[in-house]
Chains A and B, each alone.
Chain A
Amino acid sequence: MKCRVCKQTAAVALPSHHTAFCPACFAAYFARQVERAVHNHRLFTPEERILVAVSGGKDSLALIHQLAGQGYNVTALHLDLGIPNSSGPAREIVAAFCAAHGFTLRVVDPAEMGLSVPEVKAAVKRPICSVCGKIKRHYMNKIAYEEGYDALATGHNLDDEVARLFANTLRWDRDFLGTQGPLLPAQGKFARKVKPLCRLSEFETAAYCFLHDLRHGATACPYSKGASFTGHKKLWEDLEQRSPGSKTAFYEHFLTHGKTAFAPLAHKDREPLQDCRICGAPSNLETCGVCRIREQVFAVKEKAGADLCGQGREAKNSL
């Protein structure tokens, strides 16, 4: 296969675009896709400060590397979730990567604030990935808003977006269908959220990392079996194989035709937001979801402590 542009041997074939590129032309294609997303959806401007959530996975590393390469003012934000065998290596990868590329790195440790994922998992009955996602979004928004960043960028790619849109469509979830997309404008205490990789597949971000020698994390989260949309992604892979371009068409047509129909209905029945009595974050109850989770974790710990004391007392009495 030859590169469509320069006719050298191709390194990356993209059936969904009926094309293939050599490494240099692929880099130019990748940059163009990001530029297009930023420009078409007005995600941010070169003057703005962007906080980029960097997990250590391929998408977030590719994202900050590309945005910095395009001259944007980026700062990395990493959340350490205290997940055994996963968070430690991820944090090291991000620290080394940011040091090597000269990116300012901000690390936040929800684990130190009583929210390590294993403890949360033990205290909360809901699926851990949905709770973990809530904690991540809470802290990312908090830092972006309180520290005055113009936008919070995440590495969601086309496959992530398609799988999420598909799940929202299966439920006809009008709140999400009215707001999902590469841009969620700032509102109240919610920072602007942007997804500049929304035109690129996970194959493309993986190829980008390989060709730019970006070493990303390979240690999976031990809870990732419950991670979202893996089944949906497989379904879409089948569809894409049979009919290349389906993913892009589904997502882009949603943005141009579908979303506008749902937008007026989104969050119509939502209670007005108030400030959480503990942390001040926007919340529909007096205490926000994350502070409630923290309370549950403390309650479980206190009970375990009390049980241990009780056992100690019983042991002493029996002597």
Chain B
Amino acid sequence: MITVHLEPEGQTLTFDTLNTVLQLLHKVGKRQSQALVIRGGELLTQDRKLHRGDEIVVRGVTSRG
């Protein structure tokens, strides 16, 4: 299972199967340029593979006032 925390929404989602960051972005409805994808202090580009047990943060980048 892969756990995904969405910021700033504060939502947590889990996925059974996800191969890449690109797939994850599709699932959460974000473009590559709209969010940072973070795993354990590292920024991931969209081709990176995800693994079972990963904890991922998807941090939106659009300013909100």
Contact = CB atoms under 8 A, between A and B. Distances in A.
A239 B36 CA distance: 20
B34 interface: yes
Interface residues of A, number: 32
* Size band of the interface chain B makes with A: 20 to 34
Contacts of A218: 7-8
A13 interface: yes
Contacts of A23: 43
Interface string A215-235: 000101101100100100100
Contacts of B7: 218
A198 interface: no
Interface string B38-65: 1000111111100000000001011111
B26 to A, nearest CB: 13
Q: Is the interface of B mostly helix, strand, loop or mixed?
A: loop
A60 to B, nearest CB: 10
Q: Is the interface of A mostly helix, strand, loop or mixed?
A: helix
B62 to A, nearest CB: 6
Contacts of B63: 57-59, 160, 202, 227
B32 interface: yes
Interface stretch (A27-35, A183-191, A205-213): A205-213
A210 B38 contact: yes
A218 B45 CA distance: 23
A15 B32 CA distance: 9
Interface string A17-38: 0001001000000000000000
The 8 closest A-B pairs by CB, nearest first: A224-B65, A221-B65, A206-B61, A220-B64, A11-B43, A227-B65, A13-B45, A1-B45
5 contacts: A203-B33, A210-B38, A221-B65, A233-B62, A237-B33
Interface of A: 1, 10-13, 15, 20, 23, 57-59, 129, 160, 201-203, 205-207, 210-211, 218, 220-221, 223-224, 227, 230, 233, 237, 240-241
